[in-house]
């Protein structure tokens, strides 16, 4: 895991996404993987960054949150499609680039991949314990 720490550092602290959006993408990933530790670490940070508790509660319960701000809706769709369908439609990609910028959309994909990797590692260790 030390080999991927530079990627994590970039995605967490220097990505093109502001903290509100990067923390939201992390929570979408934690919810998709039902990774409690990731959730417990990032939910308070996301709350401080402006993600409403009701939105977080819905995601953790496996429901699509309602009344998302436009940027969160685009990011939710991007991340959810990627995790659920293993690809993103052209329409979703286009909306992500228009809303988040090309670098922001790619950083969101990177966040999904990085935190999915962490979730896999943590979930595999939980089951092994």
When pLDDT is cut at 50, 70 and 90, the band that residue 128 belongs to is low
H helices within the chain, ranges in order?
A: 5-9, 19-33, 36-49, 53-60, 70-85, 90-128
- Calculate the alpha carbon distances from 86 to 49, 53, 80, 121 in Å: 28, 28, 9, 19
Quote the pLDDT of residue 42: 97
Q: Tell me: pLDDT of 2 over 80.
A: no
d(CA 119, CA 96): 24
- Calculate the alpha carbon distances from 127 to 26, 30, 122 in Å: 22, 16, 9
- Could you list the residue range(s) of the whole structural domain that residue 12 is in? 2-128
Arithmetic mean of pLDDT, 84-92: 96
For residue 22, the domain's CATH number is: 1.20.1290.10
When pLDDT is cut at 50, 70 and 90, the band that residue 21 belongs to is very high
Give the torsion through C-alpha atoms of 34, 40, 41, 45, to 10 deg: 110
When pLDDT is cut at 50, 70 and 90, the band that residue 127 belongs to is low
What is the number of structural domains in the chain?
A: 1
Quote the pLDDT of residue 68: 95
The phi-psi region of residue 86 (left if phi > 0; otherwise alpha if psi is between -120 and 50; otherwise beta) is left
Condensed to tens digits (0 to 9), the pLDDT of residues 32-66 reads 999 999 999 999 999 999 999 999 999 999 999 99
Structure tokens at 112: 């999904």
Query: How much is the pTM?
Result: 0.93
């Amino acid at each position: 895991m030390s080999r991927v720490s530079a990627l994590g550092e970039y995605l967490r602290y220097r990505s093109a996404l502001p903290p509100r959006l990067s923390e939201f993408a992390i929570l979408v990933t934690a919810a998709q993987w039902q990774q409690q530790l990731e959730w417990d670490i990032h939910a308070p940070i996301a709350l401080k960054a402006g993600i409403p508790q009701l939105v977080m509660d819905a995601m953790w319960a496996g429901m699509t949150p309602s009344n998302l701000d436009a940027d969160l809706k685009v990011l939710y769709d991007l991340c959810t499609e990627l995790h659920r369908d293993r690809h993103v439609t052209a329409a979703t990609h286009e909306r992500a680039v228009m809303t988040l910028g090309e670098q922001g959309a790619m950083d969101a994909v990177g966040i999904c991949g990085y935190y999915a990797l962490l979730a896999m590692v943590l979930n595999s260790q939980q089951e092994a314990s």
